[in-house]
Amino acid sequence: MEGQLSGTTAYLGLGTNLGDRQENLTQALKGLDAGPELTVLRTSGIYETAPWGLAEQPDFLNMVAEVCTGLSPRQLLDFVKDLERELGREAGPRFGPRLIDLDILIYGSDVVDEPDLRIPHASMHLRAFVLVPLAELIPDHIHPTLGLTIADLAGEVDGLAGVSPVA
């Protein structure tokens, strides 16, 4: 119901390339929606994407969720990392295969630059698998540090050929 939500609009990237990938995304969205002071407002489509960073692994399913949250950026990071563990994510190589990956991409208009928390996400402008679904939701949003729209960034990023919508 419009008007009942209060908080900050944030955008989270979801990715998975192990197990039942569709189910992993479904469970992650349910976990997000069940979170404290957090409501999933809408989601992008799901995209099958080539691996990024470490090529020798299965393809990913990726999507973006728009959420409204009363959590601070730090609380949101703690919550999504706890949710990843609850869903079965285990430690592994950087950019390696994963059951679920949840990243804070944008948190309102905030810019956060801490050693373990960078908002907007430090690499999102380099990742087609993030920008394509994000542009589906907020094409005209201006990246707060780069000054370009998400649609402009998505149109120029390398790797677009490796991002395909899932029917």
Whole-model pTM: value is 0.91
Asked if 103 contacts 62 with a C-beta cutoff of 8 angstroms, the reply is: no
Asked if 38 contacts 69 with a C-beta cutoff of 8 angstroms, the reply is: yes
Q: What are the structural domains of the chain?
A: 8-122 (3.30.70.560)
| Residue whose C-alpha is closest to residue 14's, from 122, 95, 125, 129 | 129
pLDDT in tens, 63-118: 999 999 999 999 999 999 999 888 876 665 555 567 788 999 999 999 999 988 99
Write out the catalytic residue numbers.
89, 98, 101, 103
Asked if 64 contacts 150 with a C-beta cutoff of 8 angstroms, the reply is: no
Q: Residue length, the chain?
A: 167
